[in-house]
Amino acid sequence: MTNIQKCGVIGVGFVGATCAYTLAVSGLFSDLVLVDMNRDKAIGEAADINHGVAFSKPCRVVAGDYADLAECGLIIIAAGANQKPGESRLELLGRNKGILSSVIAQLTAVNREAILLVVSNPVDVLTCLAQQLSGFPAGRVLGSGTVLDTARLKYLLGQRLGVDSRNVHAFIIGEHGDSELAVWSSANISGADLDDYCRIAGITKPADELSRIYEHVRDAAYQIIDSKGATYYGIGMAVRRIAEAIVRNEHSVLPITSMIYGHYGVDGICLGVPTIVGRNGAEAVLDIPLSEEELAQLQRSANTMREMIDKLDG
């Protein structure tokens, strides 16, 4: 029997450690188990977080082994090679497939009831592989998807338009990476059409401005990696948001990576699309309105993911 108030984090590099921190101070969990092939690293991260628990809500953080994940209701998979400057997420795949295979084999030996949240990149393909390797129901294997990309889009739009990013309603969908797309056709500012709001804000060529914003979102990770070597704060906050939706059974709509069966003309592939997220994980994929061009872009993104999986299988 698993306990949803117990969470495991596998891999405590930059991303995993930051996820552990955001989850420990979130108030969502009573226990957090950190597992890493470098046990000393896991011990140090656990101690560092524990020393600040007095400033937050109670949470017991420990370094453990796979056996210590047996009761965890949610397990974050952040193990994997780091993305190098100039390296695409897809180029990471070959290096991270073997790591994921080892992680899943050891994890499923002790726990077959948890919800798995894959954060390692390329997240869409690795989420597909995690579902195949684990044999878990598709709804219990999800990835962080385009949750962070969507947050970046909302932030940049909010900054450009002078509005609270929480009032920007728009999605980035598809691959978390180079083939992702912005759904401009239904984007709005608290119900006001985005193009109309752009004109009100004095933007005379909305299409050009929105294209620049999309490119900034798409390339954000590369720019941050070039500047400081890795990205981890944003994804740490995104993981906290996904965990919150699961633990609190919110039925929130988030563009996580989930297995798609028959939606948007895509079948049997994992992509970041708006999905209802609750206690059972990915509970339902939503078919949001897309323009013909957006639908074609999403299907091309799905084909890119399928080609990568086919190469691995080959």
Q: Is residue 169 annotated as involved in ligand binding?
A: yes
Q: Is residue 120 annotated as involved in ligand binding?
A: yes
Whether 251 is catalytic: no
Q: Is residue 121 annotated as involved in ligand binding?
A: yes
For 167, residues 6+ apart whose C-beta sits below 8 A from its C-beta are 158, 189, 190
Q: Is residue 287 annotated as involved in ligand binding?
A: no
Q: Is residue 266 annotated as involved in ligand binding?
A: no
Task: Tell me the C-alpha distance between 313 and 248, whole Å.
Answer: 37
Q: Is residue 231 annotated as involved in ligand binding?
A: yes
Q: Is residue 151 annotated as involved in ligand binding?
A: yes
Q: Is residue 16 annotated as involved in ligand binding?
A: yes
Which of helix, strand or coil describes residue 216? Answer: helix
User: Of 51, 176, 216, 251, which residue is the catalytic one?
Assistant: 176
Q: Is residue 167 annotated as involved in ligand binding?
A: no
For 193, residues 6+ apart whose C-beta sits below 8 A from its C-beta are none
Q: Is-contact 269 260, C-beta < 8 A?
A: yes
Q: Is residue 150 annotated as involved in ligand binding?
A: yes
Nearest to 302 by CA among 119, 149, 173: 173
Q: Is residue 88 annotated as involved in ligand binding?
A: no
The edge-to-edge listing of strands for the beta sheet with 168-169 is 168-169, 188-189, 192-193
Task: Tell me the C-alpha distance between 47 and 49, whole Å.
Answer: 6
Q: Is residue 152 annotated as involved in ligand binding?
A: yes
Task: Tell me the C-alpha distance between 66 and 27, whole Å.
Answer: 24
Q: Is residue 101 annotated as involved in ligand binding?
A: no
Q: Is residue 65 annotated as involved in ligand binding?
A: no
* Alpha-carbon distances of 284 from 79, 204, 288, rounded to whole Å: 27, 39, 12
Task: Tell me the C-alpha distance between 303 and 299, whole Å.
Answer: 6
Element (H, E) at 309: helix 292-313
Q: Is residue 136 annotated as involved in ligand binding?
A: no
Task: Tell me the C-alpha distance between 160 and 174, whole Å.
Answer: 24
* Alpha-carbon distances of 144 from 54, 71, 120, 234, 236, rounded to whole Å: 29, 22, 9, 11, 10
Q: Is residue 11 annotated as involved in ligand binding?
A: yes
Q: Which residues are annotated as a binding site for substrate?
A: 83, 89, 121-124, 149-152, 231
- Binding-site residues for beta-D-fructose 1,6-bisphosphate, in ranges, read 154, 169
- Catalytic positions, written as ranges: 176
- Binding-site residues for NAD(+) sit at 11-16, 36, 41, 66, 80-81, 96, 102, 119-121, 144
Binding site residues, as ranges? 11-16, 36, 41, 66, 80-81, 83, 89, 96, 102, 119-124, 144, 149-152, 154, 169, 231
